[in-house]
Structure 1
Amino acid sequence: MELDTPVLDDHMHLDPDHGRGIDAVEDFAHLGGTHLLVVNKPSWHLGVEAGDPDAVDPAAAGEEFREVFERTIKVVEAASDVLDGRAWPVLGVHPGLISRLVDERGFSPEDARDVMQAGIEVAAEYVADGEALALKSGRPHYEVSEAVWDASNEVMRRAFECGAEIGCAVQLHAEASEDMSEVAEWAEEAGLPAERVVKHYASGRLAGPIPSVMSEKERLRVAAESGEPFLMETDFVDDPDRPGAVLGPKTVPRRVRWLLEEGYEDAVRRAHVETPQSVYGIDTEATLSE
């Protein structure tokens, strides 16, 4: 079956230095994939250890994230050359960094918060300049101390503030849940509409943010039958040390084909045309001609 529709993977990582890089994009495109949102890998996976626990001003560490963001933008440009549509960067700070800073490098939760907020603010500069599409933030999906949890929530709230200031969406990496209404309310309080907050690695049902659904059939069936906005993703990690981790780059186009065979044409349009437009302001149909 030919896919007469845009096909967007909402959350993929690419590592041209140590992973498959553009080869993964070619696999995605060969199966019918047309558009990608490429999220920067965790900073420490790219050799960037931002911040010094003894520094007078931890916020100055934000500048150290630029290497991560620049490398992501560069690989996105290469990915766009392969696709019938295009790719966009999503930039930010992985919420797991707080544990690395506190548990392994001796930061206080407050100083770790300042480093991460500074990184978010630098990422927002790229979005404001048109070099990236959206921000990434969140909070740990595993058990942490109350102080680390509070600091993580403050980082996420700062991302919402930045998203509101520059008018962009925020993708969240967070705990598994089908109800994140409180988080969506925090975004609204910051001036960011809840429909511009995306929960990455979501199940097919979610109250609050927009679910970016992991492309497993049962999750997708729930999302398709809900009638609600949703996106599709693989969270492809592009890590040679974890070759079977999460889902491969061919998965989203394969699942779109399955959804169409199952009669979910409206859901496919919702996930790959309507929701990308409402959340990110991108036109996946018009960009097919670029």
Structure 2
Amino acid sequence: MIDETPVLDDHLHLDPDHHRGIDAVRDFARLGGTHLLVVNKPSWHLGVEAESGEDFREVFERTIDIVDEASSELEGRAWPVLGVHPGLVSRLVDDRDFAPEEARDLMQAGIDVAAEYVAAGEALALKSGRPHYEVDDAVWDASNAVMRRAFEHGADLECAVQLHAEASEDMTAVATWAEEAGMPAHKVVKHYASGRLEGPTPSVMCDKERLETAVERGELFLMETDYIDDPDRPGAVLGPKTVPRRVRWLLENGHDEAVRNAHVETPKRVYGIDTEATLDRTE
């Protein structure tokens, strides 16, 4: 903890087999981090070239296992966020000769399996989205259909859906799709967000400029690193110590309310989790 406050990283990855894994969690905890939302790595990064929805189950179960290990290192706990990385559509279409419609069906089947874990209480939320790079119309349409399937499950399960998507400060159209499916817009979380976003709840990348914008805006927001735990890309994105360091910086600059917003109030509103009640305060 830092000054008795929970500290949540809303989106990072842990590799169950290689690179830092639990050592990254220990770094996070050592600096005052208490809670993590761990998103499964892209399926192909774990050696899974899915042919059916059931093939994603190995990815999800390995993620759940490392999340259980992570929780044992924290004053709070970690939760899994499970789904299908939207970049898979390009791997299927470009490298494996899937038609966009076939890729859509396979990815939707993976989302269906992820939803089973949320329904069973083994995962907190779903992850979906669409490519953040240019694709043709058929692939774009297929990706949007996968995302909308995730919203249907989000509505049925009353859970949040984290999105990997293009950089934007206005995703009201996407939030409207969620609402049309019966899911509140604030339960859609745009990962890797800037400090300003219309529509979904922004999960703000923890550089100071983005955080300053989020603080000034005064709306719901979360804080993340998108730590990827990839030995081939050691300097990519942000390290696991970043969120605790930024929380200290915010507190030192008098932004106590913003810290409570990002680490207590928004997690409760978006995910239904209580980051204070789940702290182990025993000494």
TM over 0.5: yes
Runs of 4+ in 1 over 3 A off after TM superposition: none
CA distance in 1, matches of 2:193, 2:118: 24
Q: Is the 8 A contact 2:16 2:63 kept in 1?
A: no
SS in 2 for 1:287: coil
- Name the counterpart of 1:58: none
Q: Is 1:66 matched up with 2:61?
A: no
- Name the counterpart of 1:26: 26
Percent sequence identity over aligned pairs? 79
- Name the counterpart of 2:84: 93
Alpha-carbon distance change, 167 to 86 in structure 1, aligned in 2, over 3 angstroms:
same
Q: CA deviation at 1:213?
A: 0.1
Q: Is 1:84 matched up with 2:68?
A: no
CA distance in 2, matches of 1:224, 1:258: 12
Q: CA deviation at 1:2?
A: 4.3
RMSD: 0.9
Aligned length: 281
CA distance in 2, matches of 1:247, 1:281: 26
Specify the code of the residue in structure 2 equivalent to 1:44: W
CA distance in 1, matches of 2:2, 2:186: 31
Structure 2 unaligned runs (5+)?
none
Q: 1:107 aligns with which of 91, 98, 107?
A: 98
* Cα offsets for 1:71-127 (capped at 9, x unmatched): 000000000000000000000000000000000000000000000000000000000
Specify the code of the residue in structure 2 equivalent to 1:30: R
Q: CA deviation at 1:273?
A: 0.0
- Name the counterpart of 2:266: 275
SS in 2 for 1:17: coil
SS in 2 for 1:286: coil
Q: Is the 8 A contact 1:92 1:137 kept in 2?
A: yes
Q: Is 1:75 matched up with 2:62?
A: no
CA distance in 2, matches of 1:159, 1:108: 21
Q: Is the 8 A contact 1:202 1:211 kept in 2?
A: yes
- Name the counterpart of 1:145: 136
TM norm structure 1:
0.96
SS in 1 for 2:178: helix
* Cα offsets for 1:245-285 (capped at 9, x unmatched): 00000000000000011111100000000000000000000
Specify the code of the residue in structure 1 equivalent to 2:259: V
Specify the code of the residue in structure 2 equivalent to 1:162: H
CA distance in 2, matches of 1:182, 1:47: 35
Q: CA deviation at 1:225?
A: 1.1
- Name the counterpart of 1:9: 9
Q: CA deviation at 1:4?
A: 2.0
Q: Is the 8 A contact 2:171 2:199 kept in 1?
A: yes
- Name the counterpart of 1:253: 244
CA distance in 2, matches of 1:268, 1:274: 9
Alpha-carbon distance change, 2 to 273 in structure 1, aligned in 2, over 3 angstroms:
closer
Q: Is the 8 A contact 1:3 1:32 kept in 2?
A: no
- Name the counterpart of 1:133: 124
CA distance in 2, matches of 1:16, 1:28: 17
CA distance in 2, matches of 1:264, 1:19: 35
Q: Is the 8 A contact 1:43 1:68 kept in 2?
A: yes
Q: Is 1:188 matched up with 2:182?
A: no
Q: Is the 8 A contact 2:16 2:62 kept in 1?
A: no
Q: Is the 8 A contact 1:197 1:209 kept in 2?
A: yes
Structure 1 unaligned runs (5+)?
52-60
Q: Is the 8 A contact 2:222 2:262 kept in 1?
A: yes
Q: CA deviation at 1:166?
A: 1.0
TM norm structure 2:
0.98
- Name the counterpart of 1:164: 155
Specify the code of the residue in structure 1 equivalent to 2:45: H
